[in-house]
Amino acid sequence: MDAPLKPLVWLEGEVKTPPFTKEGRVEAGTLLLRLQRGESLGMPHSRPMPTIGKGCRELRVRDGGHNWRIFYRLEPDCILILDVAQKKTQKTPAPVIAACRRRLADYLAARGGA
């Protein structure tokens, strides 16, 4: 019997059409489902984001002429989605990183620790 899927806990952002194309939404959903099943994703689909926090990563979704990032952290009981943002520059913008850090800190504080 298959293990239950880890739930997605969305703190910010969403994956919907528009602004994603149908194909981009399907790719994002497929990658998230793989995470929910417990699969470990590496490059080119996922990379560490230690600038946000310990254990944080970004999913990379190519969608036509756009590049999307889904910032997340694997928790023991869920997959925590910190944000969904369109990647427009080589470097992740500081306000996006700061917002993800704040959301993660607030979530951890509400749960009583790291």
How much of the chain, in percent, has pLDDT values that exceed 90?
Answer: 59
**Residue 113, pLDDT score:** 67
Q: Is residue 3 part of a domain?
A: no
Which pLDDT score, from 0 to 100, does residue 6 have?
Answer: 93
Measured in residues, the chain has a length of: 114
Within-domain flag for 23:
yes
Q: In this predicted structure, what is the pLDDT of residue 33?
A: 94
Asked if residue 2 belongs to a domain, the reply is no
Please count the structural domains in the chain.
1
CA-CA distance, 32 to 42, in Å (whole number)?
13
Secondary structure (3-state) at 31: helix
In a domain, 106, yes or no: yes
Q: Encoding tokens for residue 19?
A: 């602004």
Residue 104 included in any domain = yes
User: pTM for this structure?
Assistant: 0.89
Asked whether residue 1 is domain-assigned, the answer is no
Q: Would you say residue 57 lies in a domain?
A: yes
The whole domain housing 37 covers 8-111
> By the 8 A CB rule, do 73 and 35 touch?
no
What pLDDT shows up at residue 107? Answer: 92
List, for the chain, all residue ranges whose pLDDT scores fall below the cut of 50: none
φ, ψ dihedrals at 43, nearest 5°: -65, 145
- According to the model, what pLDDT value does residue 12 have? 84
What is the model's pLDDT at position 64?
Answer: 80
Question: Which pLDDT belongs to residue 47?
Answer: 93
Strand partners, 66: 63
CATH of the domain at 41: 3.30.2310
What tokens were used for 3? 């293990």
Spatial separation of the C-alpha atoms in residues 105 and 20, rounded to whole Å: 28
